[in-house]
Structure 1
Amino acid sequence: MRGKGKQIIKRSMDICGAMIGLTLSSILFLIIPILIKLDSPGPVFYVQKRIGLNRRRKERRQDFLKVKKERRNSDRRRINLYGKPFSLYKFRTMRDGAEKKSGPIWASPNDPRVTKVGKILRATNIDELPQLFNILKGDMSLVGPRPERPSFVSEFVKRIPDYSERLTVKPGLTGKAQVNCGSDYSFEDVKNKLKYDLDYVRNGSLTTDLGIIAKTFWMMFNGRGDI
C-alpha cells in the first residue's frame, strides 16, 4: 500500500468510516459518560501518549522529543521515539490515577484497577470508540498495527528484530494482529503478534483492510471483544 492513489483512497475510507462510526455510536457518547461518572470519580476520557507513523524514517531522519532533565531544568536531552507521538483517546476504564504509582505496566485479563463499567467497555471494545476522533485528526487509520506507549516502543525496538518496521504505516483502531491474536499481556504476546503486523505492512491492501474490518465486526457481534 505504497502508491499515492491508494493512500488517498485509504485516507478517504478512514474519514468516511470514522464519520459513520461516530454517527452510529452518537447515543453511546451520551450514555457512557454518565455511566462512567456514576461508577467512579474521575474524568470520562483517558488520554495517553502513543507513538504513531514514523514519516521521517523514509527521509533517513529521526523523530525526537526534547525532555527536561530532572536535575537541571535548563538542560535538555533528545530521546528517539521511533515515530510521531500523539494523544490517544479512550473512555476511562480504570480508577482515576491507577498508574501514578505503578507507572506503565502490562494489562491483565482480571486487572483489579479496572472499574465495573470499565470491564464492560473493555469486553465490548466500546472504550476504543473515542479513537474515531484520532482517525479524523489523521493520527490513526481504521486498520493498522495498534499504537504503543513510548516506553514500550523503545523497549520493543531494542529487543525485537524488525519491530520498528511496523511504525512505517499509521497505527489502527483494529488490525491483522488484533483479529488473529487479541490483546497482548506479555512480551511473548507482542512477539507473536508482530508477524501479523509485518505481514500487513509488507502485503496489506485496501481489500485486506475491508476483510479486517469485516472480521472485527464479526468478532464483536459474536462476543469476542478481546481484539
Structure 2
Amino acid sequence: MRHRYSILFFPLHVFADFLSLNVAFTGAYWIKFQTLEGVSDPPYASLWWFFNSIWLIEILLLKPYIFPRQLFKADHLIKKLLILMVIHVAVIAVYWVAIKAYYYSREHLLITYILFTSLAAAFRIGGLIFLREYRARGYNNRRFVIVGYGKLAVSIQSFYEAHPEMGFRFYGYFDQPTTENEGVLKGNYGELRDYVKTQGIDCVYCCMPYIDSIHLKNIVDQAEEVDYQVKLLVDFRGFLAKGASVEYHDFLPVLNLSSQMLADFRVNVFKRAFDIIFSLCVITLGLPIFLVLALITKFTSRGPILYAQERIGREGKPFKIYKFRSMYTDAEKSGPVLSGGLLDSRITPWGRFMRQTRLDELPQFFNVLKGDMSVVGPRPERQFFIDQIVEIAPEYRSLLKVKPGITSIGQIKYGYAANIDEMVQRLRYDLLYPKRRSFVFDMWIIAQTLRVMAQGRGK
C-alpha cells in the first residue's frame, strides 16, 4: 500500500514547535511564580507575543523543516534545532537590551529555553523513530528505477535495501540489453516511460557511466510530463578520496581534483619543522642506545650493522631507507621476498627482538633529517611490491602524494606484512592518514607506537 503523507510534515513540524514553545513559556512561568495569573498580561504578554513572532520569522526565512530523506537523521534534526535556538536567544537578548526589559525574570527565560529545547528535541526524535519504523514496514515509500546497469547501479540499490527506514522501494533496472545484463533488466529505454507511468514511479536514477547524453536528455524531457524526479549518479568516489572539491565559475560547477589538504603550505611547513626537531632530539638523546644496538647487531651475526634498501617515496621518488640489520646477509639472494613474520627463518634471533620492539627502525630518523621521510606517514614500499598492490587496490597511489613515515596507522594496527594480501589489508588503515592528517593525530600515532614498542607487540 502506497501512502504519501510527506506534504503534512511541514505543518505538523510547525504546529509541534509552536505548541512546544508555548507550553515551555507558560510552564516556565508556573515553575518560577507558582501561578499562571499574569502570564497573558503586560509585561509578559508582549514577551510571549515576541517569542512566537521571532520563531515564525525564523521558519519563514530559514525553512528548517525542508530536507531530503537522506538527511532525516537525529544529528541533523537536533543540529538544525540548536541553530534555530541560538538565533532565537540572540534576538531575545537584543530585544531585552534595546527596551531595557530588566524586569523580566532571567530564571523564567532560562527554564523556558530548557523546556522548549527538550520538548522540541523529544518530538523530533519520537517522530524520527516512528517514521523510520513506518517506512520500514513499506508505507510512505518512494518508488524508484535505475537506468544504466553496472556496479554503481547495484551500489545504490544495495544502499536502499540496507536502509529500509528511508522508504525507497526498488522497481527495476532499465538499459539496452546485452550479455552482461541478460535476465536482470525490467526493460529497455523505449519501455521506461510507460513503465514509470503505470507503476507510479517517483524517481529515476540515471547512472552516468552507463547512459549516453541522448537517452538522458529524453528522460529529463519526459520528467515533467510524466511527473517523476530525475537524479544523476556519477561515480566520484575515486576522486573524492584524493581531496576533490567543487568550485563555482559563475553558475557553472567545476570539480577540482587537486588535493587541497595535501598541498596545504602551513601543514607541510609545520610538519617538516616538527620532523627535524623531533629527529634531532631522538638522535641526540638516544645516541647511547644507537651505539648499543649497533654493537649487539655487529656481534650477534655476520654482516653490516645497517641495512640499506631502495623504497619509493613521495611522488614516486626512490630513496635509500636505513634500518638496523635484522636478517642474515643472504636473505634475498633469490629476489625480493616479504618477511614471513617473526617466525621467518631469515630473521636473526637479535633481529626478532628488534622487530618486536621496532628498534630496527631507529636509523630512519636520519632519513627524516634528509627529507626522504617523515616521522609519521604511510610506510614506504619497494616498486616491485607497489606494482602488485596497485593491481588489487589502485587507491594505493593516493598514498604516494604523502611523504612516507617511520610509523603509521597500519604499523600500529597491523604491523609487518608477510604477503601482498596482508599489505593490502594494512593499506586500509594507512589510507585514513591523508584525510585526517594533523599535529594532534600525529602525536596520537607516536604515542601508540611507543606503547607498541614498550609492550614488544611489533608483528
Q: CA deviation at 1:203?
A: 2.5
Q: Name which of 436, 448, 453 aligns with 1:203.
A: 436
Match of 2:270 in 1: 9
Query: Which amino acid in 1 is paired with 2:406?
Result: L
Q: CA deviation at 1:208?
A: 1.0
More helix by share: 2
Match of 1:136 in 2: 369
Match of 1:175 in 2: 408
The CA distance in 2 between the partners of 1:207 and 1:161, in whole Å, is: 29
Q: Structure 1: which 5+ runs fail to align?
A: 55-82
Q: CA deviation at 1:125?
A: 0.8
Provide the aligned length of Structure 1 versus Structure 2: 197
Match of 2:335 in 1: 103
The CA distance in 2 between the partners of 1:225 and 1:155, in whole Å, is: 25
Establish whether residue 30 from structure 1 lines up as the match of residue 263 from structure 2.
Answer: no
The CA distance in 2 between the partners of 1:21 and 1:225, in whole Å, is: 20
Give 4+ residue runs of structure 1 displaced > 2 Å after superposition.
Answer: none
The CA distance in 1 between the partners of 2:430 and 2:393, in whole Å, is: 13
- Percentage identity across paired residues of the two chains: 44
Structure number with bigger Rg: 2
Match of 1:45 in 2: 306
The DSSP-based 3-state class of the residue aligned with 1:87 is: strand
- Post-superposition CA distance 1:60-89 (Å, at most 9, x none): xxxxxxxxxxxxxxxxxxxxxxx0000000
Match of 2:345 in 1: 112
Match of 1:76 in 2: none
Match of 1:68 in 2: none
The CA distance in 2 between the partners of 1:225 and 1:156, in whole Å, is: 23
Contact map agreement 2:409 2:429 (CA 8 A) in 1 = yes
The DSSP-based 3-state class of the residue aligned with 2:338 is: coil
The DSSP-based 3-state class of the residue aligned with 2:345 is: coil
Match of 1:66 in 2: none
The DSSP-based 3-state class of the residue aligned with 1:162 is: helix
* TM-score of the superposed pair, with normalisation by structure 2: 0.42
- Post-superposition CA distance 1:19-60 (Å, at most 9, x none): 111123211221222212211111111000000001xxxxxx
Q: Structure 2: which 5+ runs fail to align?
A: 1-260
Greater relative contact order, per chain length (Cα 8 Å cut-off, separation 6+) = 1
Query: Which amino acid in 2 is paired with 1:167?
Result: L
- Post-superposition CA distance 1:171-197 (Å, at most 9, x none): 000011111112211222222222221
Q: CA deviation at 1:97?
A: 2.4
Query: Which amino acid in 2 is paired with 1:30?
Result: L
The DSSP-based 3-state class of the residue aligned with 1:47 is: strand
The CA distance in 2 between the partners of 1:180 and 1:121, in whole Å, is: 18
Query: Which amino acid in 1 is paired with 2:415?
Result: G
